Amino acid sequence: MIRKAVIPAAGLGTRFLPATKAQPKEMLPIIDRPTIQYVVQEAVDSGIEDILIITGKGKRAIEDHFDRNFELEGRLEEKEDALLLNEMRRLSDMANIHYVRQRELNGLGDAIRYARHHVGNEPFAVLLGDTIMDSVIPVTQQLLDTYEQFGGSVIAVEEVPHEKVNRYGIVGGKPISDRILALDQLVEKPAVKDAPSNLAIAGRYVLTPGIFAALDQTEMGKNGEIQLTDALQLLLRRESLYAHRIEGKRHDIGNKLDFLKTTVEFALKRPEFAEPFRKYLQELLARG
């Protein structure tokens, strides 16, 4: 049974400047909940309550969000707002959350190395802190089920247009079921002509502890960073790796247009907003 999850959340969020100059991109809200709260909730819904968040300079707001705020709780008690009070208290109780800082921003692979002492010799889940999954069965749970079946590291993947494969880590392999592939290749942002498929890595992983030795042997790759995809390619020489085509939709909150789309889609799913917001959108489109 996998008991621990790691959430890398140390990036600068430069694509959202100036909003992220003094605020972590992972704290950008989708309506009234910060992005990283959805990510933590996915881990919890998958049965994982021991979570390590990899942070960096200027990320203190993440820690504050999942901590108690006694002054705020006192005000809510005075107002007899039990619903909101319980919601605030639930944030600090939803999981056992730990934090470590990535001292230098050397890429996702380097961030994962900071989890070595926390996870020890156990397999663990990785959920990118700026990616929300919308699915009936949590995507992390889907990967855990595949890990239990096959026993090797599992990577979430989704289909992307062939002309966009150079934006993603891409995998290649042999299908062993409708949704599972035994991998034989991983490439970070390949040229379109060199891509082994159009299956892109989708921001969720279940990794064996063998990943740490692979990361130690991984040299700086694209953008002068230690790429997790490169380390997984090394790991593939020693262990079996699998890809799981996810059931659900990935929302990349690090992308401005996707952030806007996600906000609209999630608002249309909220009972208190759905009808008036849909009416507003229809009126807006009618005006051209």
List, for residues 13-48, the tens digit of each pLDDT value: 888 889 888 899 999 999 999 999 999 999 999 999
Q: And the tokens for 49?
A: 């309550």
Q: And the tokens for 122?
A: 């156990």
Q: What CATH number is given to the structural domain containing 105?
A: 3.90.550.10
Cβ burial of 249 (10 Å; 0-12, 13-18, 19+) is middle
> In the chain, how many domains are there?
2
> Is the same domain home to 227 and 265?
no
What is the span of the domain harbouring residue 266? Answer: 256-288
> Is the same domain home to 151 and 45?
yes
For residue range 147-166, what is the model confidence (pLDDT) as tens digits?
999 999 999 999 999 888 98
Q: How many CA atoms lie within 13 A of 71 on its CB side?
A: 1
Q: From the CB of residue 148, how many other CB atoms can be counted at a distance below 10 Å? A: 12
Q: And the tokens for 261?
A: 């789309």
What's the average model confidence in pLDDT over 245-253? 93
- Enumerate the β-bridge partners of residue 180: 244
Is the predicted pLDDT of residue 245 greater than 90, yes or no?
yes
For residue range 80-122, what is the model confidence (pLDDT) as tens digits?
888 888 989 899 899 999 999 999 888 899 999 999 999 999 9
In this structure, what DSSP letter does residue 12 have? -
Is the predicted pLDDT of residue 243 greater than 90, yes or no?
yes
Q: With bands split at pLDDT 50, 70 and 90, how would you rate the model's confidence at 134?
A: very high
Looking at residue 220, its pLDDT comes to: 76
- Enumerate the β-bridge partners of residue 7: 53
Rg of the chain, C-alpha, whole Å: 20
Would the CA dihedral through 163, 166, 169, 170 be positive or negative? positive
pTM of the model: 0.93
> Is the same domain home to 131 and 273?
no
> Is the same domain home to 229 and 98?
yes
> Is the same domain home to 102 and 120?
yes
> Is the same domain home to 30 and 74?
yes
> Is the same domain home to 191 and 61?
yes
> Is the same domain home to 235 and 277?
no
